[in-house]
Structure 1
Amino acid sequence: MSAAREQSEVQFGRTRINYDIRRSSRRSTVAVTVSPPGVVVLTAPQSTPVERLDRVVHEKARWIVSRLRLVRPGEPALPTREFVTGETFLYLGRQYRLMVRSGSPAVRLEHGRFVVTSPRAAEHERRAEIRDLLLQWYRSHAIERLQELVGRWAPRIGVDSPKVLVREQERRWGSCGAGVVRFNWRVIQAPLRLVEYVVVHELVHLLHDDHGRAFWAALGQSLPDYEQRREALRQAGPRLQW
């Protein structure tokens, strides 16, 4: 007879996240996986209390929910990016159509379009270059806009303006520590009010390390509608992944 399956659940906004717990004597850290058809599994060291695992799930809830939307049956899969003329890309919540031309490597935003020029090459090489060029463009514009928002909000929250870094992060929109805030470049695709939510969220973390009551109270003082912004970002999240 097999042992009973260890499980727990976490409420995240209006979403209830049920997850399985697998324990291993060989693990020293907690790993989170989301697999079809929407199974969430935490693999953890033998002695990790369930309360700690619940906190991990809550901390990673935004990423978990976005992954669940991708793997659950009956929900349309997001199309794979081809990086060809006619595709659309988001910037600050607005859709821009891509136009690919031959020429020296460059990206510019003009007349409501992303115009990307790339030297003639094999198709797969060209697509990879176009992605890299777009990524460079997004990162440079993300750092500019995020620095602006951090500079505007830091004094309002009562913290010194931290150093701003833009990174390639898959599971988080932002993180912070020791006078530095790090942001996922992908967030710059979202509407400005959602980018602002991520910035304020991380700045408040400079005052409160965890997601306790004091943190949410401080966030609510700065952004009274933070719950609506957080939910909107959760729903938009899967469309920002590429």
Structure 2
Amino acid sequence: TIASTRPLPPKRTYEDGEIFPFLGESVTIRIRRGEGVPFLRSGDELIITIPGEYTRYYEEKTIKEIISGYFAEELYKFSKPVFTRYADILQIPVPPIKIRDQKTKWGTCTPRSIILNLRLCMAPCHIIEYVIVHELAHKIHPNHSPRYWSLVERLMPDYKVRREYLKNHGYEWVL
């Protein structure tokens, strides 16, 4: 038997007071029951309002959906200027940006767009920036050739440190 040395990812409970990593900091989930807007950000808290009559199953599902929606919105807002900055350096148009909850990939470059993993919203900002540079470089070199890595290094001289961080900590970012 081969045992993994990596600790298990956190198990989410979607309960009041749970803390999620968020753009290099953290956000505390506050659950309210009743009527109102689905979520409201107040300082380091994300206040989520759910209907009072929900069973625990629907409550958990709804809370996860609301957190996911909020994280996707914030990841997009953070990413857009980063995409613009590096696309300008590469002299290419900013591709359409999509946010998806992907199981295995942090980013995907398609001929039409770049997809970022929703869970990146839980990473420190410099790691999100690395994934964006990695995917934008594929618009120039659609492979992982030496020329590709040379371009990534030109754009981000410390990319290896960031890539290593992603490898070592990515499992922690669970929704």
* TM-score of the aligned structures, taking structure 1 as reference length: 0.67
SS at match of 2:121: helix
Equivalent residue runs for 1:65-84 within 5 Å: 72=4, 75-84=6-15
Task: Determine the structure 1 residue equivalent to 2:107.
Answer: 174
2:66 counterpart letter in structure 1: L
Does residue 93 in structure 1 map to residue 24 in structure 2? yes
- Separation in 2, partners of 1:94, 1:137: 15
The question of whether the paired residues in 2 share the 8 Å contact of 1:159 and 1:203 is answered with no
Whose strand fraction is larger, Structure 1's or Structure 2's?
A: 1
Q: Secondary structure at the match of 1:84?
A: coil
The CA distance in 2 between the partners of 1:147 and 1:164, in whole Å, is: 8
1:114 maps to a residue whose letter is L
Check whether the contact 2:12–2:174 (CA below 8 A) recurs between aligned residues. no
Corresponding letter in the other structure for 1:101? R
1:136 aligned counterpart, secondary structure: helix
Show the counterpart of 1:25: none
Give the Cα–Cα distance (whole angstroms) in 2 for the partners of residues 212 and 75 of structure 1: 30
Supply the distance in 2 between the matched residues of 1:168 and 1:146 (Cα, whole angstroms): 16
Q: What is the rounded CA distance, in whole Å, between the counterparts of 2:9 and 2:113 in structure 1?
A: 33
- Opposite residue 222 of structure 1, the aligned amino acid is L
The CA RMSD measured in Å over matched residues stands at 1.7
Map of 2:151 onto structure 1? 218
The amino acid of 2:55's aligned partner reads A
Deviation at 1:219, TM superposition (A): 0.4
Residue 157 in structure 1 maps to residue 90 in structure 2: yes
Structure 2 partner of 1:239: 172
Report how many residues are paired: 173
Give runs of aligned pairs for residues 1-242 of structure 1, distance below 5 A: 37=2, 72=4, 75-104=6-35, 106-120=38-52, 121-242=54-175
- Structure 1 residue 77, shift from structure 2 partner: 2.4
Question: In 2, Cα distance between the equivalents of 1:106 and 1:112?
Answer: 17
The structural deviation recorded for 1:152 is 1.6
Q: Which has the higher contact order (CA 8 A, sep 6+)?
A: 2
Distance 2:10 2:174 in 1: 11
Return the letter of the residue paired with 2:22. Answer: Y
Structure 2 segments unaligned to the other structure (5+ residues) = none
Secondary structure of the equivalent of 2:97?
Answer: strand
| Structure with max Cα Rg | 1
Equivalent residues of 1:162, 1:181 under 8 A apart? yes
Rounded Cα–Cα distance in structure 1 between residues aligned with 2:78 and 2:129: 10
SS in 2 for 1:170: coil
194-203 vs 142-151, which moves further: 142-151
What are the superposed Cα offsets for residues 98-147 of structure 1, whole Å, 9 maximum, x if unpaired?
11111235122212112111112111211111011111111122222222
